[in-house]
Amino acid sequence: MPERYTLSSVDGLALAARYNIARGRDAPISDAAGVRTARWGMLAPWRGHGGKRGANIYEAPVEAIAATPILRDALRKRRCLVLADGFFGWRKIGKASQPYWIHPAPVRRLAFAGLCATHKDDDVLSFAIVVAPAAGAAAPFGGTMPVVVGDDWLASAEAAERALAAPALDGWRADAVSTHVNAEDHDDPQCIAPLGNPAQGELF
């Protein structure tokens, strides 16, 4: 986790709302160059053996950054803010998996910690989301959650390292939503519409 996330809050941005951003898709980030589009799935900037692009890195676990050269280098030099306002988790209920939209209450735009790279073959800008063990609203889903950061993430490598403490998602909630979100091509408000009474969502 996360396999999908959202940016439904776009007030003040010249961007279309996104309700189901999937791995491998283009999405808005912010860095020293401003708000721009990048591909979710970080690629090493160098050319691989035989011109192969290598594996995409979708998540950068906090505990792996120091020991992984591409991540360690990006933490020092190529940090970005991944614009978002929530992410999805799935919980097994019987034989089915129920999707939940995990988001701050009230919903507001925020940023996940991101690391980025530009591939030398084709100048494609790509990013990975920094993740930490799930806590707060994300804890019942297990696995990991995105690290939420502020603008200081871009200020310096030292400030970024302090931000990796990954505070719990206090005041966030997990709303059960329709399995409509399971299809990557679905990118509309139905993806985040709570099932039943919105007031019955789980608040953590």
How does pLDDT run along the chain (204 residues), one tens digit per residue? 789 999 999 999 999 999 999 999 999 999 999 999 999 999 887 755 555 667 899 999 999 999 999 999 999 999 999 999 999 999 988 888 999 999 999 999 999 999 999 987 778 899 999 999 999 999 999 999 999 999 999 999 999 999 887 677 889 999 999 999 999 999 999 999 999 754 444 544
CA geometry: angle 121, 48, 82, nearest 5 deg: 65
Q: Residue 57: phi, psi to the nearest 5?
A: -110, 110
pLDDT at 123 (0 to 100)? 84
Tokens 């993740």 -> residue: 131
Task: Give the CA distances from residue 194 to residues 5, 21, 83, 198, in Å, rounded to whole numbers and listed in that order.
Answer: 15, 18, 22, 5
Q: How far apart are CA 31 and CA 81, in angstroms?
A: 6
138 touches 90 (CB < 8 A): no
Distance CA 204, CA 198 (A): 15
Which residue in 114, 96, 111 sits closest to 40, CA to CA? 114
Long-range own/partner contacts, residues 44-51 (CB < 8 A, 24 or more apart): 44/70, 44/117, 44/119, 45/117, 45/118, 45/119, 45/120, 46/120, 47/120, 47/121, 51/121
Tell me the domains of the chain and their CATH numbers. 4-203 (3.90.1680.10)
pLDDT of residue 122: 79
